[in-house]
Amino acid sequence: MRKLVDAHVTQREERLVLAVRFQHDDRDVRVLEVLDGWPGENDEPLFSSEFGSTSDLILPGKLHLLLGSPPQVRSALARRDPSLDPVRADGVVVFRTTEADDIVQALGVRVGATTGQQAAREAFVASLEQDHRATPEERAELLRLWRP
């Protein structure tokens, strides 16, 4: 997830202002990306796209992107667009700028860990995976709770 977000943060044409991961229950990765400079009129529907793994980005399943500009996402929220229902259900913010705070609030999604918190979690998870004192069930439960 971090590699995907980092790649999109550095794009010059459309600046990433918000990324929300949602529907965590299978191998596919689903992300709402709000991009400043995304083409189209403010009231146009959000754009949906699907990708497989590439040599630069290995995924456990497919990558599903839901894309729009800040005005397009605000419009979709105002009209209660059903494409945002899964995002509202279990979305976790993985990247945001203050420009997207109103969208985060309107979606009602959980704000994920900061980069430092995520690094600490990953170090902890790695230590758990090496710790043979915990049972496999205990490790699995801790991993489930700690990973967004």
pLDDT higher than 60, residue 45 = yes
**Of 95, 105, 74, 137, which Cα lies nearest the Cα of 3?**
95
**Of 63, 56, 68, which Cα lies nearest the Cα of 18?**
68
pLDDT in tens, 82-138: 999 999 999 999 888 888 999 999 999 988 655 555 666 666 666 656 655 666 776
In contact, 24 and 1? CB cutoff 8 Å = no
pLDDT in tens, 124-134: 666 656 655 66
Mean pLDDT of 15-30: 88
pTM for the predicted model, two decimal places? 0.71
CA dist., res. 69 & res. 38, Å (int): 5
pLDDT higher than 60, residue 40 = yes
